Amino acid sequence: MATSTNPFRTKVDLNAETQRIKVQIIKKDDESVVEEGEFAAADVHANLRHNVALYGLSKLLQDRTSEVEVGPGKIAAMGAVMDNFKAGNWVQERKSGTPVVSAEVEALAALKGLSVAEAQAALKKYDVEVRKQILANPTIVAKAEEIRAARKTAEGIDLSNLLPAA
């Protein structure tokens, strides 16, 4: 099976206070920083700032709904992300029942006896196309359907008894 052969990874830190982005290229084997750069939002030409902002919003909507397959429901998931932004929430809060982890990854974890984090780490070793093939395994697909059905049932569960007393 093909695994990712790139010996480097990218780390990006956003600093909202200074409106700067720090990017580091890190060598995977020893975690050393081999290259870094810093980019300021203020350096973007005024004529392009709106385009850059819209592109960023577009990417955020796509990234934060990447677990939702393209088709009916994708726009609703993007709407849920946008609702978080409208409410001032940067951290992705899932109030509408849209899971942070795809059902396929959760299925892989369950079938292999792994935690979700372990399953995600194991998948990360592979190229995107290989990951898609792994997650398309019929056993994983069947288990993912069970998980989706269970998630729908869980949406109706009342957790209000876990809230602190007012």
Give pTM, 2 decimals.
Answer: 0.50
Ordered per-residue pLDDT tens for the chain, 166 residues: 556 688 999 999 989 899 999 999 999 899 999 999 999 999 999 999 999 999 999 999 999 888 888 888 888 889 888 888 888 887 664 444 455 678 899 999 999 999 888 888 899 888 888 888 999 999 999 999 998 888 888 777 888 888 887 6
Are both 112 and 71 inside the same structural domain?
A: no
Q: Does any domain span residue 28?
A: yes
Name the residue range of residue 13's domain: 8-43
Provide the domain count of the chain. 3
pLDDT of res. 158: 82
Phi-psi region of 77 (alpha: psi -120 to 50; beta: other; left: phi over 0): alpha
Are both 88 and 50 inside the same structural domain?
A: yes
Q: Does any domain span residue 160?
A: no
Q: Does any domain span residue 162?
A: no
Residues in the chain: 166
pLDDT of res. 149: 86
Backbone φ and ψ for 15, nearest 5 degrees, come out as -115, 100
CA-CA distance, 157 to 155, in Å (whole number)?
6
DSSP label at residue 71: S
